[in-house]
Amino acid sequence: MLFAKAFLIIFLGLCMPAYAKDMELSFSVHIKRMKVGTLEIHSQQSGKNYKVSGLLKTVGFMKLISNVEYKAETIGKITGARFSPANYSEERKEKGNKTSASIAYKDETPEIRKYNPPREKDPKRIDASTQKGTIDPLTALYATLKDVNLKEMCKLELQLFDGKHKSRVKLSSFEKDGDLILCYGEYVRLAGFRPEQMAEKTRFPFNIFYEEISKNTFRIKIVVAETIHGTAVLKAK
């Protein structure tokens, strides 16, 4: 669903400062007009520090076919338009199986701290030490979906690394669409994906529609994205 499955919550027993700015985002996820999931994001930001948690899960008929739940959390700093995560971790439940992983960052370079269950050795796997400057999936999700002003609108390019896969998210030009502002984006698979995944599809365009919630502040109302399952629509609740 959308650009990465591994979106979302972790518990990190780290002491963070009191946060001055909170944001709650809640979306319903639809494919072919059927509601298939929900996405919840809670962010806290104070100065340069941010903390984000999220939950993505299937619902309704889709839950009967594929009962999936992803939780994740990330903390880090924002300097200008640059995001620098410090710690990320995720938990995943799918078809009765549970997995978890965590990544720490040192000098903006990811270090894999945990995979449960442990992964088998694979010489073709991306070396995390070569991924300096990349960010985790949840930070990327927050950076893409957070409130923006006209100065920031559609000016974003991120390199993602989730411990296995490398990808890119880029927002480009925007235009007025009635009372909304439309921003064009694209998610691209770069490395670490299976050959059949790369042969299947590497580029996934998406459109973000914003509405103005206060003077010069805009919040996402709808996201329309291409997926391997068809067109997905995220509707803000």
For 102-109, the CB contacts below 8 A with 24+ separation are 102/10, 103/128, 103/136, 103/163, 105/76, 107/132, 108/84, 108/132, 108/133
pTM for this model (two decimals): 0.85
Higher pLDDT pick, 36 / 11: 36
Q: Render pLDDT for 16-53 as a digit per residue (tens, 0 to 9).
A: 333 346 888 899 999 888 999 999 999 998 889 999 99
Domain coordinates in residue numbering, the chain: 21-236
Which CATH number among 1.10.3210, 2.60.40, 2.40.160, 1.20.1640 corresponds to the domain 21-236?
Answer: 2.40.160
Res. 7: pLDDT tops 80: no
* Whole-number pLDDT of residue 21: 63
